Amino acid sequence: MDCPVHDDWLEAEFAVDTRLRLQVSRRLHCCRSAFQKIEVVDTPRFGRVLLLDDVINVTEQDEAVYHEMLCHVPMQAHADAQRMLVVGGGDGGIIREAVRYPGLRRAVLAEIDAEVIAASRSWLPGVSAGLDDPRVEICTTDASAYVHGHPDTFDIIVIDATDPIGAGQRLYTPEFYRDCRRCLRANGILTAQSESPFFDTELVTHIYTLARKWFPLVRMYTACMPSYVSGVWSFMWCAKSPAQSHLPCRTVPAGLHYYSHEIHRAAFALPPSIKRQFGF
């Protein structure tokens, strides 16, 4: 899904016949790292927008939906999560949500591209605010190599991966999911963004096939993301133990924008068509 900036409009192509256009008021930042093109623009409707290789990754308007649902769903389902690994997520949004929990002792950000972290620090301070928490360890490394080298280490793994192009391809392999399972401690939980169930059916099927090979319990949940393909986004929930519940069992941190226990429970209710399409 390409999002080239033409004149004063950003055009996100969801499919050959479907596009989202956002008016651009200012172009704030553009560089090319060793891995990808990184751009930040300002828009009247969605605020500042971070694009990686011309794909919308973060907008100030709706980022809280994405980051809260990826982070709080596993943190709320795990009774005593003390160690979290974030794969990708260089904008810092998942980390910002994780450090809301005083019981969290360690949060590792494994992001291959230091330039993404730098751009978010400079242009998206509200998203990257948690990166300076003393419990956070930032590792600019290949996350697939990191999980391979850290068995039985984390209670929660959150995969905030880009699309499977370039360096992101390593995060869509059977070996990566095998290593993620080994990386989790007993009763560990993994969540991942799992694309649009309406526009990316082949990729969604691939992601869930990978996870089902290594995890005894795999579920899908969804949230409303206006800036993402189709406006409905799916997330994958995997448990290392088949006895691990996906339901919330902790107090919700104060000050959230989207997540609540009611939203958590409702997010796992899938339409019959999606259940049939992806085998739930």
The answer for residues whose C-beta is within 8 angstroms of residue 59's C-beta and 6 or more apart is 43, 46, 47, 48, 49, 50, 227
Alpha-carbon gap, residue 126 to 124, rounded angstroms: 5
Alpha-carbon gap, residue 96 to 132, rounded angstroms: 9
Active site residues: 160
The answer for residues whose C-beta is within 8 angstroms of residue 82's C-beta and 6 or more apart is 103, 104, 105, 106, 155
pTM: 0.94
In this model, does residue 5 exceed pLDDT 60?
no
Indicate the pLDDT class of residue 167, thresholds 50, 70 and 90.
low
Q: How many CA atoms lie within 13 A of 240 on its CB side?
A: 23
In this model, does residue 170 exceed pLDDT 60?
yes
Cα end-to-end distance, the chain, whole Å: 27
Alpha carbon of 87 to those of 13, 32, 103, 114, 268: distances in Å? Answer: 26, 21, 21, 13, 23
Phi, psi of 68 (to 5 degrees): -70, -40
Alpha-carbon gap, residue 204 to 211, rounded angstroms: 11
Domains, the chain, in order of start with CATH, read: 5-58 (2.30.140.10), 63-278 (3.40.50.150)
Neighbours of 246 (CB within 10 A): 20
Residue 163: what pLDDT?
76
Residue 168: what pLDDT?
74
Question: How do beta strands 106-110 and 83-88 pair?
Answer: parallel
83-94: per-residue pLDDT in tens? 999 999 999 999
237-251: per-residue pLDDT in tens? 999 999 999 999 999
